[in-house]
Every structure is written in structure tokens, then in C-alpha cells.
Structure 1
Amino acid sequence: MFEVYFDSAAMAKAEGHFRQAAAKRMEAIGFFLGSVHSWKGEKFVRATDYVTAENDSTSVSVRFATGAFPRLAERITGKGLIVAWAHSHPGFGAFMSETDVRTHESCFDGEYNYALVIDPVRGEKKVFKVDGGEVREASFAVVEKRK
């Protein structure tokens, strides 16, 4: 069993967003929405959609633009929990920087919150869990949505 299951369509949306930003040598950020489940006593997350809004980014940093939050709220409302935040490190690899760890701890500290980091230039993607300042890679799979 994996800790996080990403629907392939949601992952494709995120990867497309990150590739577009990387073409401009910029980082990008967004959220995966979904739900928390349990099987045989083990919890896992299912990420079913990816949402974003206007990013304020450079080649080494990203945040949502000031005016983006009302649009984000509209896109999130009624569509599940934020189960993962995702951002890119184009050309630098998939890792959690010190800033990323602080962001995760201050904004995404739920037991079901994960961080996905994608380097669209190198073709790398990794999922991380942060607990008490300790960062570890989390297991994940990209799956086709059930019909």
C-alpha cells in the first residue's frame, strides 16, 4: 500500500502547470485536493484534483500572488481536503529546502498533509512528509481514476 495515490488526470494538470512555468525558468505552486482513507488500519490519501491560481514566482521561489486567494477558495470549496501542496524546483532536483520544510510545518501540519516536489527539467518527482522537523520520502502511486 502507498501513502498517497494521485489520480493521473490530477497529476497531469500539475505537471503541465510546472512545465509551463519551467519554460519561463520559474517555479510554480498548487494544491492537490482529495480525501483520507483507511485500509486494514493503515491510513492513505487519495488526491483527485489539482488546483492553482496566479503564482508570484522566480527561478528559486514561489508563492501565490496576493489576489489569488479568492480564486483558490472558489476552486477548493466543496472539493475535498487539501491533502498535498505541490511546487517545482526546475533544474534543481526534487527535494525539500529549509524554506519548504518551514512552509510545510506552518501551513500543512495535518497527519494527512504531504508535499510533492517536481523538477520538470530533470523529470523527477518525490513526495515528502514532515514531522517534527524531520523530512522523509513518502510512498506514492499515480493511478487511473476508477470509472
Structure 2
Amino acid sequence: MQKEVKESHLKEAEMKIEAAIGFRHVIDLLSSEQKLIVGHNCFLDIAHICRKFVGPLPSSLEEYVPLVQNTFPFIIDTKILLNANNILQLKMKKSSTSLAKAFAILCPHIASGVGSFGSALNSSVAVEVQVDDMRYARRV
């Protein structure tokens, strides 16, 4: 009887711990599915997520880089991309790495319609979504 009570308390405690983990499940799913993470100036955010949900941050860059690569194998930081790509720098006239400015320069036909409701409705962007092995393309 005591063993059953002890096992019951242990199961309750494990369920509480499992429920409290929460966002860590999202991190684990993104990592196990090797999903693409896209952000703008996001490496500080990635470090914060690793520190809060993965474990303590290593003291050296040599240890930190593999931790991030194992957790999030595919990361695109658009700010770094804007800084590193010579063609994008020329298009932006090396003026800034602002995401809003990049959008306005690289997608002027869409950005110009954002201010007026009517022309924004007439603009469309091709979006391809893949869920498991099924693909679905749509213009929105």
C-alpha cells in the first residue's frame, strides 16, 4: 500500500514537472524537427533562450557555437545577412540594416501599398507551405 502511495505521489510530481516545462517543449520540437529560425538581430535572443531553456551558457565561444548549432541548426539573422551581402549593401546604399528600410527597397511594389488599404489588397505574394510531405502553394 505504501509503495502504491509513493508511486502515485511520484507520478503526480512528474506530471507537475512535465506541465511546468512548457516552452521547453517548443524549443525541443524546433530542434528535433530542425526548423528554420529567422530573426532580425536575433543572436542575443537565441543566447537568452539557450540560457533559460537549454542550460547554462558556456564560458567560451568555442563551446557556445556547438550548443547553438545543436539546438537550432538552421538560423538566419536578417541583420547579419544585410551586413554581409555585398549586393544587398549596394541596394541599400550601405545606409542601414533596418528591416523596414530593407523591405521598402527590396519589395517597393508591396511596401508602397502598405499605406493605402486598397492597393495593399491588390498586392499579392506567393507563399509555399510544406506540412510533412504535402505542399501547398497560394498567392496571398
Between Structure 1 and Structure 2, whose CA radius of gyration is higher? 2
TM-score by length of 1: 0.22
TM-score by length of 2: 0.23
Structure with the higher strand share, 1 or 2: 1
Structure with the higher helix share, 1 or 2: 2
Which structure has the higher relative contact order (CA within 8 Å, separation 6+)?
1
